[in-house]
Structures are given as structure tokens and as C-alpha cells.
Structure 1
Amino acid sequence: MTLAQLCLLVACVLPVACAALAKSKGFGKRRRDGGFDNHSPREWLATLQGWQARANAAQANSWEALPVFIAGLFVAHQHQAAQGTVDMLALGFLAARLAYIGLYLADLASLRSLLWVAGLAASVALFFV
């Protein structure tokens, strides 16, 4: 497995990790006591506030960022790009996404947006290597 493939695997797990963070408030509680409602998960998630609401938003954005990254890796592979370059761009994407999620949870919107752009730039760069 290449480093870029490992980054892809981690990137695919990030939205699930964000979802777990968002839902953590409701784990271990009964639904009638405000615990997570698996019968109506979207409605329950819509009631969240603070960092847990931001974790849910980070989950959605992580799903949205994933297709461009996957496509970039696919194109780089088709072009037989230098593996070291692909690995570094994949690491850059993953680092940007991890920092993005941390900044989202911390409610640092301007810095978060910069990291979003960095992650997108790494994904787009994969198309041109």
C-alpha cells in the first residue's frame, strides 16, 4: 500500500469519526432522555449545538471533499505521476483535512477556511502531476 493509498483510507474514515464526535452527546442515554435517536438521526443531529453541531457540519464537509481527492488520486495514477509527488500531495490533503476538522470544532472559522482551500488545492494539484 502506498502512502497516498493510506491517506485515502484515513480520509474515508474522517467523516465517520466526525459523525461519532457529533453523536457522542447522545451515547449511553436512552432516547427519551435526550440520547441519540437512531429512528430519526437527522432530526436529532439538527438539535445539536456548539462543537457537536460543528462536528456534524465537519462530517458533511468531509464527505463533500472526498470525491475530488479520490478523483485526483485516480487521475494522478492514470498519468503515472511520480509516486513521491502523489504521496506528498495526499499527505498535504490529509493534514489540511485533519487541521480543518480541529479548527471547525474549535470554531476558528477564518483559519478553517484557509485549510479548506489548502486541501482543495492539494486535490486539484493531483490532476496536474
Structure 2
Amino acid sequence: MTFARFTIAYWCVLIAALLPLACAGLAKYGMMTTPRRQGGYDNNNPRGWLARQTDWRGRANAAQANTFEALPFFFAAVIIAHLLQAGQTSLDILALLFIVLRIAYIMMYIADLAQARSAIWALAMLVNIGILFSGYR
């Protein structure tokens, strides 16, 4: 029996899928034990509660939304690169770079560093395009 190898790039797909959950966790951090009547986390209406957040919690929620938006292209780029038999080492490096950039993006978003955040977003998009074309011959 032959088993498919789970590449570093595929592990990066898993990490990317978990990043939005990390953003939501950050937005909720410290509010789970605060009563709802005092502005604490409302598990009966979690999206409404998140939508009402401001400052860094609101930015963490916005980072969550943007991170979800980035997933389809990244997932497709990694899969297409694998299907086109891209060089595994370069694909793994690009996928890891994408993850590092997306983590930095989240950090810049929460810290309210808009220019740095936008520059990192653009770099991550270029890396993702690089992933997509890494198997092109």
C-alpha cells in the first residue's frame, strides 16, 4: 500500500485554516468570564457581539474576516501547484512564507498599523501568486 506524503505546504493549509479561529479567540480573550450584562462575551449571539467590538478586539474580528477571505486562493494555489508537480522545496518555502506573512498581517491589524498591514497583505498576495505559478512550465 502506498501512502501520500503530507507535505509542509499541506500542513500550511491546515495552519491557514486555523488562523481565523485564532483571531476570533483573540477578540474574545478575557471576555468569556465577564457577564453579558457587563459587556462580556455573548455565546447566544456571538457574531453580533463580535460586530459590536471596538479597538483591538474589533480589529481582531476584522482580521478574522480577512483571513477567511484569503483562504480559498491559498488553498487553490497550493493544490494547483501540487497537481502541476511544482518543486516541493520551493513550494514548501513559499507556503511557509505565506503563513508567516499572514501572522504578521494579523499582528499589524490588531496593533492598528495600517500601512504595515497593507504592505504585508500585498506581499502575501504576491507570494500566493508565486505559489500558484510555481508549477508552471
TM-score normalised by length of structure 1: 0.94
What are the equivalent positions in structure 2 for 1:1-129 lying under 5 Å apart? 1-129=6-134
Which segments of structure 1 move beyond 2 Å, counting only runs of 4 or more?
none
115-124 vs 60-69, greater mean Cα deviation: 115-124
Distance in 1, matches of 2:58 and 2:92, equals 32
User: 1:38-91: CA deviations, max 9, x gaps?
Assistant: 222222112211111100000000000011000000110110111011101101
What residue identity is the alignment partner of 2:22? A
Secondary structure (helix, strand or coil) at the match of 1:95 reads: helix
Distance in 2, matches of 1:19 and 1:27, equals 12
Distance in 1, matches of 2:93 and 2:58, equals 32
Aligned positions, number: 129
Unaligned stretches of 5+ residues in structure 1: none
Distance in 2, matches of 1:43 and 1:81, equals 43
TM-score normalised by length of structure 2: 0.89
Distance in 1, matches of 2:113 and 2:89, equals 32
Cα RMSD between the aligned structures?
1.1
- Displacement after TM superposition at 1:22 (Å): 0.6
- Displacement after TM superposition at 1:122 (Å): 1.2
Secondary structure (helix, strand or coil) at the match of 2:29 reads: helix
